Amino acid sequence: MNAGFSFIHAADLHLDSPFRGYDQIDFADPDTRENVLRQLRDCTFTALDNIVRACLLYRVDFLVLAGDIYDLTDRSLRAQLRFQSAMERLAEAGIPVFVAHGNHDHDDGRRAALTWPGNVYFFPAGEVAAWPVIRSEREIARVYGISYPRRDVCENYAALFKREPDAPFAVAVLHCNVGGDTEHANYAPCHLQELVQAGFDYWALGHVHRRNLLYKQNPWIVYPGNTQGRHPRETGARGCYLVRVQDSGATALEFLPVDCVRWEHVQVPIDGLATEQELLDKIDERLALLRHQHGGRSVVARLELNGRGALHRSLKHAGVLEGILEEMRGRFAGPGGSFVWPESIRCSTKLLVDKEQLRDSETLLGDLLVISRQARESSGTGGTGNNVRELLRQALAPLHHRMARYIPLPGDEEFDALLEAAEDLALDLLWEHEEGND
């Protein structure tokens, strides 16, 4: 084994993602609006710049990019020029870069005719190529990879990788779906065990945006996730892996966050809160904590109010949620610097009532709650609960027949959740009337 070395593994940069829908940010202050929009427009490029800084800071021997460098098949010129500039900075430092293209930036798309520095190696479309990494006239690693010739690659590209016997440390770069991850399209599908048995030391994977160490050592099989979250489902830190290989061949990984805008869901319970001021103070506290937790990065937050409490009815009045949102945007987003921007607010609160006590009452609501409980009882094939449940399913059948392509029939857990939601809706609509009859 040659002397120890290091490299960075990143994937799914999606440069110049459009962030559709976020150009409608409604701020009274145009400078604040522009600050938020500018950071969203530039965040994928900032993440790229942070990768370059990390390569220079840690003096890595090479950089691996495992697909979807660009967000669109017809790559924007802006994205290509920013990527070219980043590669030139790494060329000045003598750091080779090995680039695979995936389903978003496959070879069949449009691209500009640009001149690339000699340190950048683009893997060919549809076939595996390998390049050595040379340091002090010795090969320290060999990097294998393949790019997509088109978007819909259904072939098992992992089967095309063959390690050469003289490779000192073999890195395989593949944009793929291991094990049929249902959150992503099943492009270049393969199985974990075939990667384990393929003879490589490190599989540098891309495509899945959630970082995941599928296999640790002999070989490492790694999804670093995307480098910048792009929508509310991609929460938390995003980045790349710094990979250190010792003289003995032992390998250690360190996650490096490179994102500049993060997405988070913030739940604020109303339990025990008596006034709107108390609620505003609690939301303020949660958002301030969020800013502190993310170390000065900008954060886009989805607020959800939940729990049971006295404020439930007040929150249902027109304009209340919009007022809370506007107030928090004013407190946590400004014309410059990082921000915490409440993107939306959702109310999932419930009335502060004792359902079990109400269920035993001789009221319309009590009868409805009894029927709901019966529908949830599923023990015994011929039980009352199953009869009620079956009647409700029959009531849904005509709707399902018309919408079957779009709405599947709910499973048992989803059915119970619908019953719970129906109970709460009935409470909202009828509880005030019931109170008036007491």
pLDDT at 378: 56
Q: Which pLDDT does position 153 carry in this prediction?
A: 93
Cβ contact 213:252 at 8 Å? no
The residue ranges of the chain whose pLDDT is under 50 are 1, 379-385, 433-438
Is 260 in contact with 225 (CB distance < 8 Å)? no
pTM of the model: 0.83
Sign of the CA dihedral with 237 first, then 238, 244, and 249 last? positive
- Is 3 exposed, middle or buried, given 0-12, 13-18 or 19+ CB atoms closer than 10 A? exposed
Q: What pLDDT shows up at residue 298?
A: 96
For residues 365 and 427, the answer to whether their CB atoms sit within 8 Å is yes
Enter the DSSP assignment of 307: S
Residue 257's pLDDT is: 97
Any alpha helices (H) in 120-269, and if so which ranges? 192-196
Query: 5-257 — its CATH code?
Result: 3.60.21.10
* Burial call 213-241: b when 16+ CB within 10 Å, e when fewer: ebeeeebbbbbbbbbbbbeeebbebbbbb
Burial of 399 (0-12, 13-18, 19+ CB in 10 A): exposed
